[in-house]
Chain A
Amino acid sequence: MAFAESQNPLRVYRIPQSRYIDAVRWLSPVSPSDRFAAIAYFDADTNSPSIEIAYVDPNPQSSSPTLTPQSSWTSHSRISSLRTAHSTPQPLLAAATFSGSLHILASDLINGGVMESEATVSQLGFHSGPVSAVDLREGGTECVSVGEDGRVNLVSFVGDSSKLNYRRIFDSNGLVGYTAVKWASPSEFATGGYGFGIQWWDQRTPGGPVLQFKGNWCQGKTSGIVHSIDIHPSRKHTCLAGGSSGTIFAWDRRAAQQPIVLSGAGTGEASNSLLSESEVWEVQYDRYTRRSNIGNISSTRILPVMICSEDGILAVIEQGEEPLELLAEPCAINSFDIDRQNPSNVICSLEWESLAILTRS
């Protein structure tokens, strides 16, 4: 396993938070030098969950970045999933909770990052039990939420109605549970769930998933759960997924039922090195690449992927290459986010109540 070598200098700063971090996301900055992050906290001492917008000062005199809280929004339940839409200067946040509600928050970064709750869905019957994942559509007018209760809901928010209305796209009545969701296009999205299954949905074809990727491809070996899905805007035919037993795989919808396994379960051959044996909590395409043009990469090849795992690994994987380990922590890395505008910056949340900010140069 290759570590970040000296030619690729990496600066890592760990910032203790004294609160558990449920999720962390970058917000799109107003100006190129600004960095804002949205952090979902859980204060175990007072039992209070909240979302805070913090200004991340990347290079103060003290040479390590500082977080300056800008504003805070108190939630009544812990945050199970947090997504941001990249619109300026008022980035939108979608926060789903363990009590089954969904909140749309708007933050005004110019006026001190004040965060306001735009709208809330918490009706009985929206989800029963926790919302396991939520995704905001780029441009931010629609939001899809899924749960282990088997419900797939579409929440549209246009205008400023404080009560949101949602549309039930599907309800499997608990027969199938969903644990991850990601928009692919304005009408299509992918969900993931138990047994490494992925479902492809198209709003134009209601009544159920359009395509299903069979979850039982790793027959005989331990199956698992998909924790995170990513879809690259230029490769909408491929769903990238990460889940149990260090499994990172891609499903090319054109290639039917055969997954492209980047790491973990079901690899079989020795050619794929095992990066981690524990849960892969999040996967994202790593837009930070030394190559000038990703267009040069063949469309069948999987683009570089960043992952974080329960055994404390943050790494970048490229198909057919040795994974590049960026962090090896003694505790779990529960979530991370790559800055869209400046992909050399990565923020991640560590199990032991701290944040880590990485700068690649």
Chain B
Amino acid sequence: MPGVSSDSARGALVPLSPESPGAVVYPLRHGLKSPISRLSISWSRGNSLRVSVFAAPSSDGSVNDGDGGKVVEVKLGGGDGEISEAHWRRIAYGSVSPFALLQSRKNAVSTLSKMSMNSSPYDGDWWDYIMEYSKDINALLVNQKSASVPVLDDTKSVITKGEEPTSLKAAWELLEMFYAEKPSHSWLPERLVDWLADYDSLFSGTHPTVHSKLVDFQKEFVNLQVVEDDPKYWEVMSSALAVGWLNIVVKMLRLHGSYQLDQLSNRETENGLVEAVAVLISKMPRMRLEQEAGKLGECYKAKPDFVKAWEKWRGQINKLDSSAFWFQCAHQQTREGLRSMLQIMLGNANSLCSATYNWIELYISHFLYMRPLTVGLESMYSLAQKSIQLKPMASAHRLMGLIIGILGENTEVVLAECLKGFGPWMVAHAIELLTAGSDHAEMLLHEERQNLGGISIEELHRLVYAQVLSSFPLTWQIAPIYLISCMKHGMILLQILLSKQPVQDNQLLLKSIEICRLYELHSVTSNIMKIAGVHHWKHGRKGSGVFWLQQARDEYRLNRIALQLFDSVGKTISDESFKQWEGLIQLLGSDSKTAGGLEFLHKYRDFKKSLRQIHDGKATDPARQAVESLISLMKNPSTPQRFWLPLLYDSLKLLNWKERPLLNVSQTNLLLNKLQELSMARLRPDFIESELPPQALNSVRLALGTNLGRAILEE
């Protein structure tokens, strides 16, 4: 049998020998001692598999512990480790409102642009909407667990840790800067510098990074007496300088031993050089819109100003580099360290390459020191290709793939990287940014494709995400938001989703019905009400069953269950059980349309009530009421035939009323006709005999006859 290995007796399930070399075998513990005879595998909630393992019955017929079977739930894919299931759900919940808001704004914009033909749909507030959406989503991605607080005292801690960054947030910020902040394209290099400063640590897991070197150094740093003697001090500073972490570099420079008061006098020149470099670093011209308060560097918005400042700054570096003071600096490490930092600032390609640890860091250092005026994705892309050639890597981090896709302006690659690296949530929400400003991407993603069954790529990814949401019991309720944004298949899938929801629990059922109400899916509503009604009925909750079938206005099933109810009515409506029935009859109400065949119960209750009031055989008014009820019951076509005789038998004392006949001639004739009809019906094979004494029919006939005679006399 496939799936069962020969050593299954040892208690482990192992799949057949894998044909593809990359397959990994995970043994599955099921705890069964006896050999396995049968396996059944089915999908459970979410991405769990339910594996049912059946043991072979033991040959000697004895029953042992561990016989029978076991059901094991296997969770496939342990998430991405970075973000827990609960955090993913929190992101999913939080993204509902921004997504829904953006969709409704999109719809409003497109109706507006249809009305005024010539105006472009995407201007004015459009970018604000996109940006608001992106910021709302971004805010959800903040990692809840705060990172460890640095134990070092502040003067010695070179890197401060805030929240622990996640790749997901890093990826979203990349998309945001390239697609949502369209007008700021000329600042992109500087935005990337900032981005790397926030997220360089993410690459530490798979690649050496400046961040990881800094962290390593900080650990040793505490025990160092003379920092400038340690080559790592200079190495790490050069690296931090190369990726533009100016504050960290200046802070580290000022930890140089020559700053100490007792050494200042005899290391004056050395200290002067260190300070000169620190000042030059803090004066570095940056071409950017704004600078965060406290960050070093001087920022220029206009290109000519920047170029002027840049030339001047480089001139100062060159001047320092060629100054005679270096010969007076006795400390060799300081001299070499500082001069190599100057080389980085001058944009020496070799220095940059050796100071950085992966291609992104190299790429960023090129922006900072070699080509600060890089504009346009094309040149950014070619620079990235060059960096990759200089620092090739065996395996690419998922963020690196995304960056290449974005720079290469290849929407398909970006989507594929999003899906591969970050899952369906990312794709479904990132598409909004991708299509925001690019007509090309919009055409590509909105075009209906034959190979996708006539839907667009956008719809495909929304449907995929909605499917993921639907498979979890806690998130299925937000799937409809995404489904209704899918023009082609959304509505149908929504109906299927709602029809599949469990009906056992009222609260869940009502939540489904509420969603049906919102999207005006009346037929689905009545379907799930019917399912719920039948479910409750089958489980003995007759009241609940009748209620839901009434709500669904399901005449057919109400009539069917009415027949079953009558069976128990015939036996159990005694005075004792009357209170039990009372509630159900009240629930049925007097509205016969919603009561179906159960209308009979209502009248029957009235009849029984009046009958009970005339125990003594004297009260004439209740007796008259009872007659009224009897006649209307007998006239009513909904009264089942098999109740005719019991009804008449119950009414014997009305028919034999002492004082005077209660039924007039025509009423008596009606009852006699019914009795005749009944006698005829008894000949048919499908007639159900009521549980009455055998003389019942005769005594009724006799009473009716007597009553007829008395009535004729009276008239």
Contact = CB atoms under 8 A, between A and B. Distances in A.
Chains A and B form a bound pair:
yes
Interface of A: 16, 18-20, 44-45, 98, 128-130, 132, 148-150, 170-177, 179, 193-195, 197, 199, 207-209, 212, 214-216, 219-220, 222-223, 225, 244, 277-279, 281, 310-311, 330-332, 334, 351-353
A174 B542 contact: yes
Contacts of B511: 279, 310, 332
A175 B580 contact: yes
Contact of A148 (B541, B550, B583, B586): B541
Contacts of B539: 129
Q: Among B90, B474, B506, B591, which residue has the most Cβ atoms of chain A within 10 A?
A: B506
Interface in B502-558: 505-507, 510-511, 514, 517, 536, 539-544, 547, 550-551
Q: Among A20, A128, A219, A330, which residue has the most Cβ atoms of chain B within 10 A?
A: A330
B498 to A, nearest CB: 15
Contact of B542 (A128, A175, A199, A225): A175
Contact of B93 (A129, A149, A199, A331): A331
CB-based closest 5 A-B pairs: A176-B583, A18-B86, A208-B579, A216-B589, A352-B93
B310 to A, nearest CB: 45
A235 to B, nearest CB: 25
Contacts of A19: 86
Contact of B583 (A129, A199, A281): A199
A193 B474 contact: no
Contacts of B544: 148, 174, 177, 194
A195 B473 contact: no
Contact of B90 (A18, A179, A195, A216): A18
A197 B505 contact: no
A171 B472 CA distance: 37
Q: Among B539, B581, B589, which residue has the most Cβ atoms of chain A within 10 A?
A: B589
Interface in B465-507: 472-474, 477, 505-507
A311 B510 CA distance: 12
B41 interface: no
24 contacts: A44-B474, A128-B540, A148-B536, A150-B580, A172-B543, A173-B540, A174-B541, A174-B543, A174-B544, A175-B581, A175-B584, A176-B583, A177-B536, A177-B544, A193-B543, A195-B587, A195-B589, A199-B583, A208-B580, A208-B582, A278-B514, A310-B511, A331-B96, A353-B86
Contacts of B540: 128, 149, 173-174
A66 to B, nearest CB: 13
Interface residues of B, number: 42
Given A174-B543, A194-B547, A225-B510, 12 more contacts: A129-B539, A129-B541, A150-B541, A172-B579, A175-B583, A176-B543, A194-B543, A197-B587, A209-B583, A223-B550, A311-B514, A332-B511
A332 B514 CA distance: 11
Given A20-B474, A176-B583, A353-B86, A244 B510 contact: yes
Contacts, number: 134
B543 to A, nearest CB: 4
Contacts of A334: 507
A98 B508 CA distance: 13
A207 B579 contact: yes
Contacts of B97: 330
Contacts of B144: 16
Given A129-B541, A216-B590, A195 B547 contact: yes
Nearest to B73: A47
Given A216-B589, A222-B551, A353-B93, A310 B510 contact: yes
A219 B580 contact: no
A330 B541 contact: no
B514 A279 contact: yes
B506 A179 contact: yes
B571 to A, nearest CB: 12
Contact of B584 (A18, A170, A176): A176
A263 to B, nearest CB: 17
Interface string B567-604: 00000000000011111101101110000000000000
B89 interface: yes
B128 interface: no
Interface string B76-110: 00000000111101100100110000000000000
Given A148-B536, A150-B543, A310-B510, A172 B580 contact: yes
Contacts of A278: 514, 517
Interface in B121-172: 144
A65 to B, nearest CB: 16
A81 to B, nearest CB: 11
Contact of A215 (B477, B580, B587): B587
A146 to B, nearest CB: 12
B2 to A, nearest CB: 30
Contacts of B582: 208, 212
B90 A16 contact: yes
B33 to A, nearest CB: 26
A15 to B, nearest CB: 11
A98 B21 CA distance: 48
Contact of A197 (B93, B583, B591): B583
A172 B89 contact: no
Contacts of B536: 148, 177
Contacts of B477: 331, 351
Nearest to B94: A352
A76 to B, nearest CB: 17
A279 B514 CA distance: 8
A120 B477 CA distance: 34
Contacts of B96: 330-331
B246 to A, nearest CB: 32
Contacts of B85: 45
